[in-house]
Amino acid sequence: MLLEIENLAVEVAGKRVLKDINLSIDEGETHVLLGPNGAGKSTLFLTILGFPQYNVVNGTIKFKGKDITNLTTAERVQLGIGVSFQSPPSIRGVSVRDLLKIESHQEINEPLNARMLELAQKLKFNDEFLDRDVNFGFSGGEVKRSEILQLLAQMPDFTMFDEPDSGVDIENVELIASEIGTLLDKDLKHDSRKRSGLLITHLGYILNFVSADKAHVLMDGKIACSGNPAEIIEDIRKEGFNGCVECAQCIK
């Protein structure tokens, strides 16, 4: 198992937000996390990443067989966890180009490598754009495309996305979704490692482009239901989140 979360309970600002979460993601699998606003989706994401405000009061998180519950965020990233934030911070004084060099382990005084230049072009960034400060004054779509580009520089073993489709127009959603597909590639076209991921999304368009192995519905800090993504999504579309939880397809 690549990621193994057992009996996880998390408090944020003194409030119990996650209550007894159990979730396992195997190598090569992509899971989808669904759920109403305020259910705790971003909390789970930031807890896996190890943000210190998210206080683990019970349970464990294992990654590649190692207990990472008490590791720092930097240590988790080092182990192969990559993230695309819902609202990433801007970094004044650091250009997109330089950040891409750092993330793809290049020397800062060398020109950005051809693979990254090609990917930048594919994500509709021109050369001038690469010299802008990271996320500073970027549009919603530019922020998301830039996050994906940074992840493509890192190619993490496990990548988490927090609503990569929110605030992005249809045309860019397709572009982002297809590159998320590259990051979670099961066909091993890029190299020999099996990539895995966790995708938090509204019931969006993005799932038409990214194939998911399993979906989980998070409600009120608990996983209410897990199962086949297409079936769960159809239930939610028809009957809302409560309808899904009550349906017969759920593997409790």
User: Which one of Mg ion, ligand ADP, none interacts with residue 150, CB within 5 to 8 A by kind?
Assistant: none
Smallest gap from Cβ 195 to Mg ion, in A, equals 4
Rounded to a whole number of angstroms, the minimum distance from the CB of residue 165 to ligand ADP is 14
CB of 242 to ligand ADP, least distance (A): 16
112 and 97 Cβ atoms separated by less than 8 Å: yes
CA distance 107 to 103: 10
* Number of residue whose CB is nearest Mg ion: 42
Task: Give 198's contacts (C-beta < 8 A, 6+ positions apart).
Answer: 3, 25, 30, 31, 32, 33, 45, 48, 158, 159, 160, 161
Residues between 13 and 72 that touch ligand ADP (CB under 6 A): 13, 17, 35, 37-43, 53
Extended beta strands in the chain, E state: 3-12, 15-25, 30-34, 54-63, 66-67, 81-84, 91-95, 133-134, 158-162, 196-200, 214-219, 222-227
Q: Select from 195, 212, 221, 236 the one that contacts Mg ion (CB under 5 A).
A: 195
| Total site size for ligand ADP, rule CB under 6 A | 12
Asked if 38 and 44 count as a contact pair (C-beta separation under 8 A), the reply is no
Size of the site for Mg ion (CB under 5 A): 6
How many angstroms separate the CA atoms of 20 and 7, rounded? 4
In the block, residue with structure tokens 């996983």: 223
Q: Which one of ligand ADP, Mg ion, none interacts with residue 13, CB within 5 to 8 A by kind? A: ligand ADP
172 binds Mg ion (CB under 5 A): no
- At its nearest, how many Å lie between ligand ADP and the CB of residue 191? 32
Stretch near Mg ion under the rule CB under 5 A, chosen from 13-21, 38-46, 175-183, 238-246: 38-46
Decide which of ligand ADP, Mg ion, none touches 47; Cβ closer than 5 to 8 Å per partner kind: none
Nearest-angstrom CA–CA distance, 91 and 203 = 31
Residues that bind ligand ADP (CB under 6 A): 12-13, 17, 35, 37-43, 53
